[in-house]
A and B are shown apart, each in its own frame.
Chain A
Amino acid sequence: MGSQKRIAKELAELVESPPEGIVVKLADESNLYTWNVYMDGPEGSPYYNGKFILNLSLPTEYPFKPPTVSFKTKIYHPNVTNDDKGSMCLGMLRADEWKPSSRIQAVLQFARQLLAEPMPDDAVEGRIAEQYKNDRKRYDEVAKEWTRKYAIAS
């Protein structure tokens, strides 16, 4: 269908000229709808040097329905749920904000930007957001610690 064509196109573009710190790959070559995303922690953030694996899942209605992004690598971040799902809350992926002209590349770049600049007011982890706002030093420490623990391949 049309969605496959567009997805293939976007994938090709992303593979050909990947945005900074982002590498994408199909999780399964025969399935266009599930992507593995390898994201480098942005410089200047406590996630720097970490390699994060994300899962990008496209609905069959794509681009009319937004994709979902989740972290497979555990990460200490106000906008990523601290559970086994690691769901990331991206404003542009919400049903009322999504528009089919948004591209996956933009989604992923936005996600990486969120690592550099968390949005504590739009948080899914209230406690981490609190800490980010009130005790940045401690937040940095924990985020770094988690990055070291979970996001650096040994």
Chain B
Amino acid sequence: MADAGDRMFCHACGGVWLHNAGDMTCPHCESDFTEIIEIPPDPDADPPPDRPPSAPAPARARPNPWADHNPWAHQEDDDLDHGWGSGTGTGTATGNGNGNGNGNGFTHRTYRSPDGRFTFSTTTYTHGFPRRTPPSQRPVNDPLMPMVQGLDSIFNGLASTYRQQNAPGSTSSQPPTPDRDRGRTLGSFEFDIEADGRTGRQEGLHPRDADGPQPMNSPLRTLSDILELFRSDFGTNTQVGADGVRVVTGPNPLAMLSTLLNFERHGDAVYSQEELDRVISQLIEQNANRGAPPPAPATAIQSLPKKKVDAEMLGSEGRAECSICMDTVDLGTEVTMLPCKHWFHYHCIELWLNQHNTCPHCRRSIDASQ
């Protein structure tokens, strides 16, 4: 069965390890902000605490490993990194896919993409039966706390991703994109919306600040709103034991799932005029940059006819200028003529055609066949 040794929990990195008498420092981050957790010798014998009325105080009979730990007690922004979930800033998140754990007990895994934009952390509680399915797949037979903590760490992961994105300079890994490039960046826009911005590049999304600085979609608030829902769930199921210990029993797993699904759905929906405006203006911006005609092929540019300016081309005024550089063009100067008969310095029109394949005057395509 599960070994009865006490576990140590590190508040700095969230690591858990077997208690080694006398040594109170965390082997992972060497913090001494640690705590001894007493693990009941046979946690599986615990009746499933998802029926509060029928099993009023299951945890009162024996020491409860989480008796003094309410995962929802600290969900303020400042505290999100702290606790069971190892956030990006702390814990094991130093490389790609770190994990630590010791057989029975907790396994913490934090995955982080090389650019730091994706963070995913999980907490698995295996208590004594190695290689069994994760607790989240058998919510009824298990104490629900591991699942809740798994969710908690997922939320923590999400939250820290957000904070990372919102932190100043956090997007500096991407070079500042000129307008045209921004259009390309906006190509991921749809994806961002669907994923509720979790993986989004915020720099590509430019709210137009219609009424002063708009709150940036307040993703954290949304998250904590959802956590609030959970909390109220807990609220009804929380009992104060005779010894004054708060016993947190699990909420209805179905309710949690449906809340999660709602959360997923939230990604596609906008609930306020402001948000809608934001989305629309993004689409407009996206479209504006996309609508520009594509560059002309170099061969097409080179094969444009060249001509020496004659009196007829100068028109009635007897003088003309290249409308790109606005320099006067004298008689006899060699210019390049487009199929629409508009002409420019070769050097000038080349620069334009390298970006757009239309006449700078009348916007006709330089492709003569059109």
Question: In the complex, which residues of chain B have a beta carbon less than 8 angstroms from the beta carbon of A100?
Answer: 323-324, 348, 352, 360
CB contact under 8 A between A10 and B326, given known A95-B291, A99-B361, A101-B361: yes
Determine the residue in chain B with the shortest Cβ distance to A89.
Answer: B284
How far is it, in angstroms, between the C-alpha of A84 and the C-alpha of B326 when the chains are bound? 34
Contact A83 B209 (CB under 8 A): yes
The CA-CA distance from A65 to B288 in the complex, in Å, is: 13
Report the Cα distance A89→B277, complex, angstroms. Answer: 15
Interface residue ranges of A67-94 to B (CB < 8 Å):
81-85, 87, 94
Q: How far apart sit A99 and B180, CA to CA, in the bound complex (Å)?
A: 15
State the majority secondary structure of interface residues on A.
Answer: loop
Contacts of B289 in A (CB 8 A): 95-96
Which of A1-9, A18-26, A50-58, A139-147 faces chain B?
A: A1-9
Interface residues on B, range: 20 to 34
Q: How far is the CA of A106 from the CA of B208 in the complex (A)?
A: 26
**Chain A residues within 8 Å of B, Cβ to Cβ:** 2, 5-6, 9-10, 63-65, 81-85, 87, 94-96, 99-101, 124-126
Measured between beta carbons, the chain A residues less than 8 angstroms from B292 are 95-96
Chain A residues lying within 8 Å of B363, measured Cβ to Cβ, are 99
Question: Does B21 sit within 8 A of A, measured CB to CB?
Answer: no
B 306-330 contacts with A by CB, 8 A: 323-327
Query: In residues 197-219 of chain B, which contact A (Cβ within 8 Å)?
Result: 208-213
Q: Say if the beta carbon of B31 comes within 8 Å of chain A.
A: no
Asked whether, in the complex, the Cβ of B348 is within 8 Å of the Cβ of A2, the reply is yes
Contact A101 B288 (CB under 8 A): no
Residue of B nearest to A7 (CB): B326
10 A-B pairs closest in CB distance? A96-B291, A101-B323, A83-B209, A96-B292, A95-B292, A100-B360, A99-B360, A94-B288, A101-B360, A100-B324
| Residues of B contacting A9 in the complex (Cβ-Cβ under 8 angstroms) | 326
Q: Which residue of B lies closest to A91 (CB)?
A: B288
**Contact: A83 with B210, CB < 8 Å?**
yes
